Every structure is written in structure tokens, then in C-alpha cells.
Amino acid sequence: MYSSAFSRQFIRSLASLTTSSLGIINTATGGASTMPVRDLSDNQPSSLCRHPQYWLDDGSLVVSTQDYMFKVHRSLLQRHSIGVFAHAGSPGMGETTIDGCPVLHIPEDRVSSADLEALFAHLYHDHPLDADAPLSRIAAVLRASSKRQLDFPVIHRLARQRLVAIFPSGPEAFFHPDNPDEALTLAVEFDVYSIQKALFYSIATNSNLEHDEPEGAGLADDGAPPRVATPDGRPRPNLSPELEQRCKTLLTTIVDYFTPILFTVATAHHMACTDVFAEEWMPRVIAPALASDGLCRPLETLETIIALDWAAHGLCADCVRDKREEWREEQRAFWDKMDEWLGLVGKDKF
């Protein structure tokens, strides 16, 4: 698969590994045929076991992290990321191999077993990141393939593309995805700017950000914070304090921005149509908006206004058309304003 020159370069690169972020031990010893590696028994928990799926009979490298060891093909990993082998542990810590294979230990604070499993599932085409991949799998591969973890650049770009495709980049009313807090955390951590507005908006306008965690609410079985519903039925997001504060600030800004717009009665080109707005604005627009938290949901409130059968209430066809376009423009103007509020002006939208 690789040329002789490439193989020689690969061997030379393995011999020069010196840093300590990953645990390949790579000291050359008298032409030994086995790549020297760190002895796992010195530093790994006794519970470390072979992964039930990715312990391949013909594998040539053992990768260990958290509770599992994966026996996979070194050439496959090296094809996608030479950088993963550009990290090493301290020399002289032993030459132990497992099942005749060198061992690459990844500290568990660097990549989790679950994320590594998702990455291997993509690499071996068991669960590739296709257009239908769920957010949980996209998130796992995005993390594991990032420069902060194993640095698989092509796969990382694909994971970013899949993440971007799930969420709208423009104003879309009534779009409220499952687990927007997990998606927002990913989008901010990996600078995926194009979807941040939709996620900040969804969380800020559809979550109870003021509700305290119930007493006695511990961690879930998987160690994650529990996802609890607030007394009004809205979910309480699992966010870092910084992101939660940004959502709260955004909500306050949205209400301040949209309140005068909502309470300003619409006017039309014709006096008769303006009179219709004067009579109908309170019962048809303001009252329903106040009853449904419409002040903090401009996209949805404007969409509801657009959908009203204004012709049935006396507006002429020309005014209905013009006002609907005006309200659409109001949605776009609000969406553009959020770039300023969230500090996204000038950011690369991918």
C-alpha cells in the first residue's frame, strides 16, 4: 500500500518521537523487530479489556484508552493521520507488546473509549457518517478526529459538514431540535459559527434558564448531568455557566429589541387597511403573543402574523402582499442583528 520510501520515512518518524501527550514508546534497540512501547501494566487499570468489536485478528496496533483496548490496523490510522504517531511518551519505559502488536496509549482525558469506537466504526464502514447519522455519532467523531485529540483532518471536515447540515443557517421559525445544548456546546468548542445562531436562539427562547436544579438531582448513570424538565414543562439545558449566561443575555436582548416592534400597530398604504390594523392588532397579534411568550420568540410571532388571514379581516390583496414581505424582512433583520449580539460579525460561517 505504501512505497518503500514512505515506509522508511514512517519508521524514521517513529524513531524520533519525543513528546509525552500520547504513550507510544519508541526507543530503537539494536535492530529489534518490535516497536518498543510503554508497558500498560504499569499505568492502566486492571479492568482494561479488549473491545468486543474492534479487536481484529489481523490488526497490527493496539490502541488503549479508558476501559478498552482496540486492536486495529496501524496503516489505516497512519493513512488518515500521521500526526497521531507524532506524539510519544518518555523513552526507556519498556518494550512490552500485546498480542504481538505495539501499543498506543491515549490518556482518557484526551479521548474517550466511546468516541474512539465511533471513529473506528466510521473508518471500518460499520457506521459511516452518512447524511442520516445521528447527532451523538457526529459529535463523537467530531471530537475524536479533532486536532485536540487524534487529528484526522479529512474525517473532521466531514463531521463538521454533517453537523452543519442538521441545523439551519438562516431564520427558520419553529425549528427546535432535540438536544440543542449538546449541539451548541460542540458548535462553540469547534468554532462552527454558521449554526450557532439557530442553537442559541432555540435554547434562549425555549428553555427555562432561571430554574435551579432540583435538590437531590445527581448524575445520570452515564455520569452526565440529568436532563430535567422545569415546572412549566420546558427543558433545562445542560450548558456550561458561560454558555448559559450567554443564552440569558441573548434572551434579555431579544425581548428589549422585539417589544417595541410588537406593540407598534402596523400601518398600510390605504387608510381603510390601516383602520383594519388599528382594530385587529390587539386581539389578533398582541394578546396571542403575550399568551404564548411571543415577546421572546420574534421568528415564531412574526410567522404567526404572516399566516393570519388578513384578507378575511378586510385588508386588500396589495396590502396583504406588501405587509407579509415587510414582516419577512423583519425576520431577516432580527436574524442579522443576532450576529452583533452574539459576537459573530466577521466570523467564518463554516
Is residue 84 scored above 60 in pLDDT? yes
Backbone phi and psi for residue 281, each to the nearest 5 degrees, phi listed first = -65, -45
Least confident of 77-86, 206-215, 319-328: 206-215
Nearest to 54 by CA among 65, 66, 44, 68: 68
Nearest to 33 by CA among 60, 71, 9: 60
Q: What is the pLDDT of residue 47?
A: 60
The pTM of the full predicted model, rounded to 2 decimals, is 0.75
Q: How far apart are CA 219 and CA 225, in angstroms?
A: 5
Mean pLDDT for 118-126 is 96
Mean pLDDT for 178-203 is 94
Q: What is the pLDDT of residue 210?
A: 64
Q: What is the pLDDT of residue 233?
A: 53
Least confident of 84-88, 117-121, 157-161, 297-301: 84-88
Task: Name the average pLDDT for the chain.
Answer: 80
Is residue 81 scored above 70 in pLDDT? yes
Q: What is the pLDDT of residue 274?
A: 96
Is residue 70 scored above 60 in pLDDT? yes
Is residue 283 scored above 90 in pLDDT? yes
Nearest to 250 by CA among 298, 317, 284: 298
| The amino acid at 79 | R
The sign of the torsion formed by the CA atoms of 29, 33, 36, 42 equals negative
Q: What is the pLDDT of residue 13?
A: 37
Residue 98, strand partner residues: 101
Tracing cell 471536515 back to the chain, one arrives at: 157
